[in-house]
Each structure stands twice: as structure tokens, then as C-alpha cells.
Amino acid sequence: MSSVEQAGEARSRQGTQRALPKDVAPLSFADNDYLGFARDPRVAEAAIRAIRDSGTSARAARHLAGPCPEHARLEKNLAAWKRTEAALVFASGYQTPLGVIPSLVTNKDTILLERNAHACLFDGARLSAARLRLFTRNDAASLTASLTSSKKLNPEGRILIIAESLHSMDGDFADLQSLVALKNRFGAWLLLDEAHATGSIGPKGAGWAAELGLAEEVDVQMGTLGKALGSSGGFVAARSLVVDHFLNEARTFLFGTAPAPAAMAAAGQALEIVRSTEGSNLREKLQANIRLFSAGQADPKKGPIQTQIFGSNARTLQARDSLRAAGMEVAAIRPPTVPENTARLRISLSARHSAPEIKRLTEALAKLRDA
């Protein structure tokens, strides 16, 4: 038996085998379209206009293909939104840290990464030549110990702290005040992944750092265009000097085909709405939906990502299938995405959900918990 066959059999035994869905329930709580822009006619029309003006593809990496107004316009608006000097877009959110992180550190440096961080952050860290150490999320003592020992072992090396502002699987917000205080105390850099907070929280939806008034304390803000902005792609926002460094050193930017103009125009249109009064109303609707769902939950979260932990893979899959049979799609998250014995339903709330739809979900979840 080949190693591939053995791996497949092991996944089947452990309940971690995955397959692309053939059918999904009509009511989705499984996607990250937090403000409902993925099917907004205005966003779609912006993409159509960009196809007419600039074609269906960027055709090459940006250093080769020449100027594209959709990329430049979006980057200017992203930088203004994030209150930074500059921004740079990438073809996908996953590719962004794969290019950015290795360009920031060398084999003389150390990366301190949250223990349960998103896979893209781990992969970016592993692609670098830096020493990788893990710390416990929202545990200042754990991070302090890692910073202290890293400084002692390598006093001349730089330290890059990497954290998610809104955790993609646990749904909690980072203790950003502690992260900033410690990075300043030890002279470290901070890269904050705002993927799930971008658009959904903060003044004009600018994210968690903006919500806390700490955006200027974050050295690199990273985000995605494929969640609350309803498009595809990723971006970083930072000082002009740092962004110029990424433009010259981030390999996924240098050697990858640039994101399609249509995706940039769609994200730009969504961003315009996000920063408007309508965007504020959408975020208020999202917060109302979060409060409605959270009422009566044992472990409510303050953001759009909610969890119901069942522990075993089999029970989690049964719960997902039960909800699907009732017409609701909810993601079943199993190891290795989350730690062993913490398999869960991951519920994504959106401004597009109605109160009756959320009530329908909470009632179904209550029955599952009582079963």
C-alpha cells in the first residue's frame, strides 16, 4: 500500500477525510461574506466595468504587465482606510504572508507566532530562514517569556511577532494592547493579520487596530479582500519604505500573476460602501445579529465567528449533517485545522442574515446540544 493510500485510510478512520461539497443547504452560515457584498449588484457591476476596460486578467506579474489603474486605485484607498502611507495587493490572502513574512526576517532573526495561528501564517514563517517560536494567544506571560528568551539567545537578531486580530477558528479578539506594549518594550516588530476583522469592525470598518486606536502602533497590517469585501485577493498596509521592500522582496508578489482587475474593482466598490454611512449601518446590522445569536449561548463571542465545540469528529459531522438536512449550512471544523479533541461547528454571521434565520439556527443548535 502506498503512502498516499495509507494517508487516505488514516483520514477515514479518524474522521478527518474531506471532499468538495456537491450540494449545500440554501441558508449558509459557513462563509465569510460578513457584510453581504459577494452578491451585491454594485460590486458585480464594478467588476464588469473593469473587465471591459482592462480585460479578464492582469496577464503577468505587475513588474512585467505594466500599470493597471484598478490595482493602483485600490491600494491608494486601502492605505487611506488603514491610515498608513502605502498598501500593496496580492493575488490571494493566503499568498500574502507567504511572500511578506520571509521578506521581513533572515536566519539571524526570530519569529514569535501564536500557537493556534492560521495555516498561512505558519507556512509563511516556515518559508523564512528565521527561528520560529510559539506563544499562547492572549497570554502576556507566555509572550513575555518568549521575548525574553529570544533576546537572551540572540541579542542582535530582530524579533517579528505575528498575531491574528480576530481568530479565524476561535472567534476571539486579540489583546492588542498587550501585544503593542510588549513589542515596544522589547523593540520587536508586529504583523497583525486583520483578515476577519477587516470591514466588520472599527471606525469605517478599518479593523481591530483602528477600533482600539492602535493602528499606528502596528508595523504591518495584513488583510484580505475575500471576506467582508466580497472579492478575492490580499493586501498589506504599512509605511512606504516597508511596502517598497515587499514590492522588491516578497516572492509571491514578484513572481506571481497579479490579481485580476475585476477583483480589484469589486473590492474597491465594496470598500467605498464599507467606508460610507451604509457601511456603518451594515456593521450595526451585523452587531445586532451577533447579539441575537449570542443570547443564551454558553460561550458567546463579540465578533461574527461563533463556535459550538463538540469534541469528537464524528459528533461534529453528525451535527453538521443534521443542520444541512434542516436547510442550514454550517462548517464542521476538525483537526488538523483545530487541535485534537476540539472539533467544532464554526458559525459565520453576516449582515445579510435575518432575525428569523438566526432564530432558526439557534433553535436547531439547542436541540443538538440537548440530544
User: Using one digit for the tens of pLDDT, what is the confidence trace for 120-164?
Assistant: 999 999 999 999 999 999 999 999 999 999 999 999 999 999 999
Report pTM: 0.96
Three-state SS annotation for 2-23: CHHHHHHHHHHHHCCCCCCCCC
Catalytic residue chosen out of the listed positions 33, 40, 109, 118 = 118
Contact 218, 192 (CB under 8 A): yes
Instruction: Reply yes or no on whether 245 is catalytic.
Output: no
Q: In the numeric block, which cell numbers belong to residue 338?
A: 483545530
Rg (CA), the chain: 21
Instruction: Reply yes or no on whether 164 is catalytic.
Output: yes
Instruction: Reply yes or no on whether 77 is catalytic.
Output: no
203 and 252 part of one domain: yes
pLDDT of residue 1: 62
Q: Residue 333: in which H helix or E strand, if any?
A: strand 331-333
308 and 264 part of one domain: no
Cis peptide before 21 (omega within 30 of 0): no
Domain that holds residue 195: 41-274
Beta bridge partners of residue 347, listed in sequence order: 306
What residue spans of 235-309 are helical by DSSP H?
240-249, 251-254, 261-274, 277-294
Catalytic residue chosen out of the listed positions 33, 75, 109, 164 = 164
pLDDT, tens digit, 9 for 90 and up, residues 285-321: 999 999 999 997 888 999 999 999 999 999 999 999 9
pLDDT of residue 154: 93
pLDDT, tens digit, 9 for 90 and up, residues 266-290: 999 999 999 999 999 999 999 999 9
pLDDT of residue 244: 98
- Is residue 264 in some structural domain? yes
63 and 34 part of one domain: no
Instruction: Reply yes or no on whether 227 is catalytic.
Output: yes
Give the total number of structural domains in the chain.
Answer: 2
pLDDT, tens digit, 9 for 90 and up, residues 19-42: 998 888 999 999 999 999 999 999
Instruction: Reply yes or no on whether 196 is catalytic.
Output: yes
- Is residue 15 in some structural domain? no
Beta bridge partners of residue 343, listed in sequence order: 311
Instruction: Reply yes or no on whether 168 is catalytic.
Output: yes
Catalytic residue chosen out of the listed positions 92, 168, 200, 231 = 168
- Is residue 3 in some structural domain? no
Residue 266's nearest CA partner among 304, 299, 225, 237 is: 225
